[in-house]
Amino acid sequence: MLTPAQCRAARAFLNWTLVDLAAASGLSRASLNSFEGGHGNAKADTIAAIQKALETAGIEFTEEPGVRLKGQKLEVWRLQGKDVMAKLSEDIYQTCLKMGGELLSTGMDETKYQAVAGTEDLIRNQIKRMLKIGVKERAILCEGDRHFVFPPAATTYRWIARELFGMIPTMTYGNKHAIVVYGPPVSVVITENEQIAQLYRQQFEILWSLAKTLAFTEEEIAAICEKNLPLKAPVD
């Protein structure tokens, strides 16, 4: 059954307003707004009318549940639960293993990232696996943030001015773009589409060109990373 989240995502893909969907479905804006907001229980015929209008416009609904446009690979899904960061890490690894390229990260606060990862071993494993397949990361941090976790062999950091720093972490890799919402609860929304991923890569390059190289040598960054997250887990 069509969900409010799928409806919102489908409208975004079509660049439709509620007015557009109302015209296509024959429903009132109030009814659509109520459904998308999750207010009350929508009638089955209301949901059916919304779904038919969106499908007629070229939307396909997947089982995850997700959304995509007919004729191209375009899917959106959400990761949730205690192991959400482990699932994201695995998706990044498997996608990069298959497609290569690099990992582009913005809006990162690695103090929070460590906290929501659940276990430092997850991050250690992520570093080792990405190094093994030769995929590096470029990450943009807020100017002055010195909590580096990923060593220079794995990640190149730059600082960007606070007014340009996005507070929501995003990652672009392969044909995917992920948005991390710290919550609570922590969740990740992943979009899989080459054109969308390319758009975010272009936006990243603009921010990267505006960002500053860190005022540290690689040896100093490596030492800070080792202090924040020793690559070898301590032995009791």
What does the pLDDT look like over 71-111, one tens digit per residue?
667 789 999 888 899 999 999 999 999 999 999 999 988 88
| This prediction's pTM | 0.69
What average pLDDT score do residues 6-10 get? 89
Buried b (16+ CB within 10 A) or exposed e, 196-207: bbeebeeebeeb
- Beta strands 75-80; 187-192: pairing state: antiparallel
Pull the structure tokens for residue 91: 């998706």
Q: For 195, phi and psi rounded to 5 degrees?
A: -65, -40
Q: How far apart are CA 62 and CA 13, in angstroms?
A: 14
Write out pLDDT tens, residues 47-67. Answer: 999 999 999 988 888 776 678
Domains of the chain: 4-71 (1.10.260.40), 77-228 (3.30.870.10)
